[in-house]
Amino acid sequence: MNEQQRPVALITGAAKRVGAQIARSLHGAGYDLALHYRHSRGEMDALCAELNMARNGSAQAIQAELADVEVMPRIVEACITRFGRLDALVNNASAFYATPVGSVTPTQWEELFASNARAPFFLVQAAAPHLQAAHGAIVNMADIYAERPLPGHAVYCMAKAALVMMTLALAKELGPEVRVNAIAPGAVLWPESGKAYADQKELVARTPLKRAGSPEDVAAAVLFLLRDAKFSTGQILKVDGGRALAI
């Protein structure tokens, strides 16, 4: 496909970990990419260089603080200015840490809801006209803990539950032009902060598939929902090895 024919995806939190693998998988499937990052400039520069070496001009980095809702139109406009279209949005960026009841601060509440619920909503709102024009799709990164709370993480679980309801509501609001789905990963990558996961072996042992997931597992599900699941909207796809059955 030439540049005008290739689909374009905007991915938040794309510099490393699962976000970077989603970027590589979509790029390998023929997508051009607008890649958002917050602080991870070095990782993002390396990822863009890797992708642009494989297909020149196919990846663009966009730095932004998603807690500021005023930047959402700017992020979308940067993508449209570079590529001329937007076919897919992946709301991957997320904050995660413990908030034991009795010690929760308003700042923690604001930070967890901003990254996990508010930013995805306002980014969708800014992107919706372009996604509707392209008959595109959205994938939100939810969590199995949106349904079954993780002890000590009430605010995070509440924010992800809001994201799940957003997925359902927007599937109705934006259809039929735009499909809106979410992925609820299980144990894929252990968090860099927020939970020690000293019980990793026990957690995996309780999972029917008896293994931890991988970023590739999540990225494959994202590609499926964006490209192949043409009759699916308002769905929350668990990518957890069956772990939700054992919680």
So what's the pLDDT on residue 205? 76
Is the residue at 119 inside a domain? yes
Question: Total domain count for the chain?
Answer: 1
Longest CA–CA separation in the chain, Å? 56
Is the residue at 193 inside a domain? yes
Could you tell me whether strands 137-141 and 8-11 are parallel, antiparallel, or unpaired per DSSP bridges?
Answer: unpaired
- Going across the sheet that includes 59-63, the strands are 59-63, 32-37, 8-11, 88-91, 137-141, 179-185, 236-239
So what's the pLDDT on residue 102? 96
Is the residue at 189 inside a domain? yes
> Is residue 146 within 8 Å of 184, Cβ to Cβ?
yes
So what's the pLDDT on residue 57? 96
Q: 198: Cβ–Cβ under 8 A, 6 or more apart, which residues? A: none
- H helices present in 29-118, as ranges: 41-54, 72-83, 106-113
Identity of residue 173: E
Burial category of 111 from C-beta neighbours within 10 Å (exposed 0-12, middle 13-18, buried 19 and up): middle
So what's the pLDDT on residue 114? 97
Quote the CA–CA distance of 101 and 229 in Å, as a whole number: 40
Is the residue at 57 inside a domain? yes
Nearest CA to 226 among 2, 4, 11, 3?
A: 11
10-residue mean pLDDT series, the chain (247 residues): 81 96 98 96 97 97 96 98 98 96 97 98 98 98 92 97 98 98 82 54 76 90 98 96 75
Check which CATH number belongs to the domain holding 161 and give it.
Answer: 3.40.50.720
Is the residue at 1 inside a domain? no
So what's the pLDDT on residue 196? 52
Say which DSSP state 194 is in: S
Strand extents, DSSP E, 115-208: 137-141, 179-185
Cis status, amide bond into 176, omega within 30 of 0: yes
Strand extents, DSSP E, 142-194: 179-185
Catalytic residues: 156
Is the residue at 3 inside a domain? no
Is the residue at 2 inside a domain? no
So what's the pLDDT on residue 194? 47
Q: Which two tokens stand for residue 157?
A: 């679980």
> Is residue 182 within 8 Å of 163, Cβ to Cβ?
yes
**Tokens 């897919």 appear where?**
88
The residue segments making up the domain with residue 191 are 8-245
Is the residue at 228 inside a domain? yes
